Structure 1
C-alpha cells in the first residue's frame, strides 16, 4: 500500500486496531441502525391530531402535562403505540401530578399511532364531568 506505515505493535494491539477500523467502516444499517443520525422527535399536548415522519432508529418522545382548574385535575394515561413492531415503547410513565411521558423507538418501516387519554380526577368536594379526551399522533416510519 502506498503511503501506509506499519509499526511493530504487539498482536493484541494490532487486532484491536483492526476491530476499531472495521467497526468504523461498517455501514450503520448493518448494526440495526438506519443510516444517518437518529433524531429525537418531541411531542407535547399541542401535537394532538398531528402526523409526523420518522426515520428508522429515531426516538419519539411524548411529554404530556396535566392541567388543574376549578378543583379538577386532568390526568393522562401512559402513551402507547398501535403497532409495537413499527414503534416500540422503551419507556413510559405517569406522574402523580397527572402528566405522562413515553419514548417510542422507530423499529421498522410502517405507520403507527401513538395514543393516550386524558381523564378527570376531582379534588375533595368536586365532581368530574363524564368526559375522556383522546390524544393521537400518527407516525410514519420510513
Structure 2
C-alpha cells in the first residue's frame, strides 16, 4: 500500500510540473523595437590617414594617434589634434608626448563635417638645424 501511495504522489507531482511547464511559453521573444539601436563604434586615424574622409554616426568616437619621427638629429613633433567644428566633433581628451607623438579622442555630437588637424614641426637637437617648414595633417570627419 505504501508503494501505491508513493507512486500516486510521484505521478501527481509529475503531472503538476508538466502542467506548469505547458503554461509557460518556451520561446518568449521581445516585441520588435520601432527604432534600430546601433552600438557606438570607434574609428582610429593615424599618420597614414592624412587627407582621408571618414563617415561616422552621432555618438561614435574618433581617436587620432600621430607618431613623431626622429631622424638625423632632429625630432618631428606633432601638435595636439584639434577639430575645426566643435559642435560636430567634441574633443574629450588629448595631448602630446615627449617622443613627438600626439593623440586626441573626439566624440561625434552633431551632424555635419569637421576637419581634424595637427601640425608637425621640427625640433632640433643641440648642434643640428631644422628646415623651416611645418607639415599639416588633416582628416575630414562627416557625422550623419
TM superposition score normalised by structure 1:
0.76
Deviations 1:98-132 (A, max 9, x none): 10000000001100000000000001100000010
How many residues get paired? 115
For 1:138, the equivalent position in structure 2 comes to 140
1:93 to 92, 95, 113: 95
Is the aligned partner of 1:60 residue 2:62? Answer: yes
Name the CA distance, whole Å, in 2 between partners of 1:138 and 1:53: 8
Name the CA distance, whole Å, in 2 between partners of 1:133 and 1:3: 68
TM superposition score normalised by structure 2:
0.75
Unaligned runs of 5+ in 1: 5-24, 29-34
Name the CA distance, whole Å, in 2 between partners of 1:54 and 1:113: 13
Shift of 1:3: 6.0
The 3-state SS of whatever aligns with 1:101 is strand
Whose Rg is larger?
Answer: 2
Unaligned runs of 5+ in 2: 1-22, 26-32
- Map of 1:69-80 to 2, 5 A cutoff? 69-80=71-82
Aligned-CA RMSD value: 1.9
Shift of 1:66: 0.3
Name the CA distance, whole Å, in 2 between partners of 1:111 and 1:3: 52
The 3-state SS of whatever aligns with 1:126 is coil
